[in-house]
Amino acid sequence: MYRIRFHARGGQGIKTASRILGTAFFLEGYEVQDSPRYGAERRGAPIFAYVRASKKIINERGIINKPDLVIVTDDSLLLLPIAGVLLGVTERTVLLIATDETTEVWKKRLNLQGLVLSISTQAAVESHAGLPLLGVACVGAAAQLAGAISKSALEEAIHEQLQPLGKVIVEESLAAAMAAYDQMEPYARCTTEREDPSADSYESPHWIDLPFEDARTSAPYIHAAATTFNVKTGVWRTMRPVIDLKQCNRCALCHIYCPDGVISLDAKGYPQIDYQHCKGCLICLLQCPTHAIDAIPEHGQEGEIS
Amino acid sequence: MTRKLITGNGAAAWGARLARAEYIPAFPITPQTEIIETLAQWIDEGQIDSRMTTLESEHSMITTAGAAATTGVRTFAATSSQGLLYGMEMIYTVAGWRAPFVLVNVSRALSAPVTLEPDHNDVLAARDSGFLQIHCATCQEVLDSVLLAYRLGEDEKVRLPVIVNLDGFYLSFTREPVEIPDDKKVDQFLPPYDPGETRFRAGDPISQGVIVLGGSQYSYFRYETHLASLNALEVFEEASKEFEELFGRSYRAVEEYRTEDAEVIFFMMGSFATKAKDAVDRLRSVGRKVGLLRPRLIRPFPIEAIISAVAGKKGIAVIDQNLSLGKGGILYTELASALYSMTDKPVLVSFIGGLGGRDITREEFYEMVAVTMKAIETGKAPPPRLLYSKEELMQMKGLQSIARVEQRKGRGKR
């Protein structure tokens, strides 16, 4: 069975991407299971999706703990432990990253033993809106890496899944997927179906008897409550991004990358964060080339917001 | 007949479409699902000839569904989790009306605390209402169960509404290959609903909201409804046989998977049962005699089928994806009472797992077999076991330490 996991941020089209890959496997005669997973639907929040494909009936369900291929369309997630990108990644897992850094840098930074491949976000085929089509490019790459999907199946899957969005998007997506498919040709069939370990020996789960704890500890309260008095939408953040304008070189990357459009530029081109609507995803911090953005704990800060 | 990748939500909508549901009352806001969105789109595009009304709550939605069903209109509704609970008053009421319609529930764990992923406490809250309950493990089963549910509920010997249950995320958002049955064949399996003498007409009004005092008449009506529910066991058997002849897929009231010579069996319901199947296959490949028993029908509870399936087994690992607070697993309780009169009962071991969609790993299934084997050897079942690890508790402690910091800050300010 192929077990493939996608990681992205909400709004980047990863659900659609996983469905294109699932459909392509299905067209090639595979049994398929694909599913997105997200919490409160929030643009910019880490989400994941997965695809299982097998020649036999699939009885496994839910999260893929031991993936054969992990696809990351937003490299900032690799530095975010909560995104869980590296969950179950071993030396036999192929990691495909949409990034402009080299794969060597990522291998070293994350201490990875397995094969790391990249799709350049700069070189990616752009949509008519000027955005790189990374999700569908990663699907093209994955199709080649698995080696089980022909170009014609990939093309049919893209048509099937994207047709409602119109001809232009279908054509752009086809171009992006096929370019990545060709780019990955040297690595064809690098992603293999894993042999599962025998049920004869396994690590016992570390079950415990849950101890009683009284309601002061065990009732699900949020102590930092009533934040709607301070912030219109209530505080979503645990950490707050703060910009040191002395270090800022006015490159505007934070303004561009903010998934919620809450970083505006003032008359002089300096970024200003609207804390009423900032959700604390910290993408700005990860993007800032001069490290002018810091993250400070949110608690105790509410009163400072007008 | 075509086979395509659709979600559990899509499969439920296809079930309603093929059943030619004529009327679809819907509460259109969260926690409503894509089932209603899909049907609304089909109506808009003229692909189905149904009427949809949006209501201001699940309470009104279920009232409307029950009222429509008494007029002989084939009615379909869908809800999820808190929505089912919000409509609970009318769940009991419309069952008493003997109004047959299908209500799909997408199971998600209940508040508090709020979560999104599935367990079965929502649908089990409707257990004693008179609604029949069919629980699904795959997207295919969701579609097929909607068709079976109409046959079951509309049968003269039954005349009760039916809940078809599927798990949130694990089925509702998960695409799997599903065979869409041929509509002509479905028409053959499911002719239009004819309530006959019990049809409500505006020109010949009757009252459904009857009051009976003193207990005696009440006992009669309630017990008759109970007997109707029990009749559904036989009707299900007949309907599923016919279904198999027409569509080639077999749905018994209790699914038996590799149980024939099994010593230990898993007993559980819902989509996580396919994970148990996976574990069964792997354990079988190294020579362990294990199997799976999965009740599809929870109401009526197929006691006789269960007794005959567990005869000769040594132990049963009962996995409850629910928790009756202050008692334990509901399925365990149901099974224990069903087997009480049996001689040579298997040992029952109770596991609580998958609450709020918590994963049950393959290794945990292996371990449950090991624990059950030990209980067989010693003849003594261990206390109920929550599937919860040391690592999970450590993570919880980490979160609680953050909460304590917030607590101190909050107290200081006030």
* Residue A244, in any domain of the structure: yes
> Is A196 within the bounds of a domain?
no
Verify that A85 and A11 share a domain, yes or no.
yes
Chain-centre distance of CA B33, in angstroms? 16
With b meaning 16 or more CB within 10 Å and e meaning fewer, what string describes B226-252?
eebbebbbebbeebbeebeeebeeebb
Pick from B240, B218, B216, B236: which is nearest to B228 by CA? B236
Identify whether A205 is part of a domain.
no
Q: What is the mean pLDDT of residues B44-60?
A: 97
How far B264 CA lies from chain A's nearest CA (Å)?
A: 15
A300 and B366 within 8 Å at the Cβ level: the answer is: no
Kindly state the DSSP code that residue B189 receives in the 8-state scheme.
H
pLDDT at A12: 86
Q: What pLDDT does residue A306 have?
A: 36
CATH 3.40.50.920 domain span(s) along chain B? 254-390
- Residues of chain A positioned with their CB less than 8 A from the CB of B31: none
Mutate to test the interface with B, among A26, A52, A59 (most CBs of B within 10 A): A59
* A212 interfacial to chain B (CB closer than 8 Å): no
pLDDT class for B409, splitting at 50, 70, 90?
A: low
CA distance B255 to chain A (A): 15
Cβ separation B175–A238 shorter than 8 A: no
- Which positions in chain B touch A196 (Cβ < 8 Å)? 282
Segment A79-118, tens digit of pLDDT: 888 889 999 999 999 999 999 999 999 999 999 999 999 9
Widest distance between CA atoms in chain A: 68
Instruction: Say if A56 is an interface residue toward chain B (CB within 8 Å).
Output: no
pLDDT band for position B224 (cuts 50, 70, 90): very high
Q: What is the model's pLDDT at position A227?
A: 75
Residue recorded with tokens 């291929």: A69
Whole-number pLDDT of residue A246: 96
What is the chain A residue with the closest CA to B277?
A59
> Does position B196 have pLDDT exceeding 90, yes or no?
no
> What is the 8-class DSSP label of residue B324?
B
Under DSSP, the state recorded for B173 is T
C-alpha to C-alpha distance for B298 and B334, rounded to whole angstroms: 9
The mean pLDDT of chain B is 95
ipTM, two decimals: 0.93
pLDDT of residue B266: 98
With contact defined as beta carbons under 8 Å apart, do B405 and B350 qualify? no
Residues A241 and A123 grouped into a single domain: no
Are A177 and A282 within one domain? no
Residue B406's pLDDT is 66
Contact: A59, B277; criterion CB under 8 Å: yes
Please report, for the domain that includes residue A245, its CATH number: 3.30.70.20
Q: Of A126, A160, A187, which one is at a domain's C-terminal end?
A: A187
Q: For B2-194+210-247, which CATH superfamily applies? A: Thiamin diphosphate (ThDP)-binding fold, Pyr/PP domains (3.40.50.970)
Would you call B170 and A61 a contact, using CB atoms and an 8 Å cutoff? yes
Give me the residues paired with residue B134 across strands: B164, B297
Residue B408 is predicted with a pLDDT of: 62
> What is the percent of chain B with per-residue pLDDT over 90, rounded to a whole number?
92
The pLDDT of B171-199, averaged and rounded, is: 95
Bridge partners (DSSP) of residue A60 are none
Contact at CB, A36 and B173, closer than 8 angstroms: yes
Q: Which of A280-284, B23-27, B69-73, B84-88 has the lowest mean pLDDT?
A: A280-284
pLDDT at B326 over 50: yes
Could you give the CA distance from residue A283 to residue A270 in angstroms, rounded to a whole number?
A: 17
For residue A251, tell me if it sits in a domain.
yes
Domain final residue pick, A161, A187, A213: A187
Delimit the CATH 3.40.50.970 region(s) of chain B. Answer: 2-194+210-247
Question: CB–CB of A33 and B176 under 8 A?
Answer: yes
Architecture of domain B254-390: 3-Layer(aba) Sandwich (3.40)
Nearest residue of chain A to residue B274 (CA atoms): A59
Which chain B residues are closer than 8 Å to A204 by Cβ? 363, 367, 370
Residue A201 contacts B, CB cutoff 8 Å: no
pLDDT at B139 over 70: yes
Residues B57/B60/B61/B67 CA torsion (nearest 10 deg): 180
In chain A, whose CA is at the least distance from the CA of B278? Answer: A59
Please judge whether B385 and A224 are an interchain contact, meaning their C-beta atoms are less than 8 angstroms apart.
Answer: no
Give the CATH number of the domain where residue A166 resides. Answer: 3.40.920.10
What is the token pair recorded at A56?
Answer: 């036999």
Whether residues A243 and A163 share a domain: the answer is: no
Q: Which of B112, B385, B393 sits opposite A220 (nearest CB)?
A: B112
Q: Which of A31, A35, A61 sits opposite B274 (nearest CB)?
A: A61
Whether residue A31 sits in one domain with residue A163: yes
Closest-CA distance, B406 to chain A, in angstroms, reads 6
Q: How far is A124 from chain B (nearest CA, A)?
A: 29
Q: Please report which helix (H) or strand (E) contains residue B134, including its range.
A: strand B132-135
Q: Is B281 exposed, middle or buried (0-12, 13-18, 19+ CB in 10 A)?
A: middle
Backbone angles phi, psi at B400, to 5 degrees: -65, -30
Closest partner residue to A223 (CB to CB) among B277, B361, B403 is: B403
Domain match, A180 and A228 both: no
pLDDT digits (tens, 9 = 90+) for A268-293: 999 999 998 898 888 899 889 999 99
pLDDT < 50 regions, chain A: 304-306
Yes or no, beta carbons of A206 and B391 under 8 Å apart? yes
CA distance B14 to A25: 23
Interface of A with B in 64-123 (CB under 8 A): 65
- Tally of domains in chain A: 2
Nearest residue of chain B to residue A52 (CA atoms): B176
What sign does the dihedral B118-B124-B125-B126 (CA atoms) show?
positive
pLDDT at B217 over 70: yes
For residue B83, give the 3-state DSSP assignment. Answer: helix
Angle, to 10 degrees, between the axis of helix A151-162 and the axis of helix A134-146? 150
Contact A225 B410 (CB under 8 A): yes
Residues of B in contact with A26 (CB under 8 A): 5, 177
**Among B101, B224, B105, B120, CA closest to B165:** B105
| Interface residue A23 vs chain B (CB under 8 A) | yes
Copy the structure tokens of residue B116: 């999104």
Task: State how far residue B332 is from chain A, nearest Cα, in angstroms.
Answer: 19
A9 interfaces chain B, CB cutoff of 8 Å: no
Nearest chain A residue to B364 by CA: give it. A205
Q: Are B255 and B268 spatial neighbours (Cβ–Cβ below 8 Å)?
A: no
B385/A207 touch (CB, cutoff 8 Å), yes or no: yes
Residue A132 lies in a domain: yes
Whether A86 maps to a domain, the answer reads yes
Q: How far is B150 from chain A (nearest CA, A)?
A: 28
Q: Which domain holds residue A146?
A: 2-187
Tokens found for residue B63: 């009232």
* Residue B141 identity (one-letter amino acid): E
Q: How far is B80 from chain A (nearest CA, A)?
A: 16
Sole residue written with tokens 């206390």: B383
Contact B387 A22 (CB under 8 A): no
Structural tokens at position B235: 């009707």
Statement to judge: residues A69 and A145 lie in one domain = yes
What is the mean predicted confidence (pLDDT) over B72-98? Answer: 97
* B209 C-beta neighbours (distance < 10 Å), count: 7
Q: A15 CA to chain B: closest CA distance, Å?
A: 10
| Residues in contact with A20: Cβ distance below 8 Å, sequence separation at least 6, in sequence order | A136, A139, A154, A157, A158, A161, A162, A177
Q: What is the mean pLDDT of residues B235-249?
A: 98
> Which letter, b or e, does each residue of B315-339 get, where b requires 16 or more Cβ atoms within 10 Å of its Cβ?
bbbbbbbbbeeeebbbbbebbbebb
Distance of alpha carbon A94 from alpha carbon A112, whole angstroms = 10
pLDDT at A304: 46
Instruction: Among B3, B4, B5, pick the best mutation site for testing chain A contact (most A Cβ within 10 A).
Output: B5
The minimum CA-CA distance between B275 and chain A, rounded to whole Å, is 5
DSSP A185-222: GGGTT-S-PPPPPPTTS-PPP-B-PPPP--HHHHS---
As a whole number of angstroms, the distance between CA B362 and CA A146 comes to 25
> Last residue of a domain, which of A166, A187, A208?
A187
User: Cα(A90)–Cα(A67) distance, rounded to whole angstroms?
Assistant: 9
- Tell me, yes or no, whether A99 lies in a domain: yes
The verdict on a CB contact (< 8 Å) between A224 and B367 is: no
Query: To probe the interface with A, which of B174, B359, B362, B396 has the most A CB atoms within 10 Å?
Result: B174
Predicted pLDDT of residue B414 = 43
Q: What is the pLDDT of residue A301?
A: 64
Segment among A52-66, B193-207, B282-296, B378-392 with least mean pLDDT: B193-207
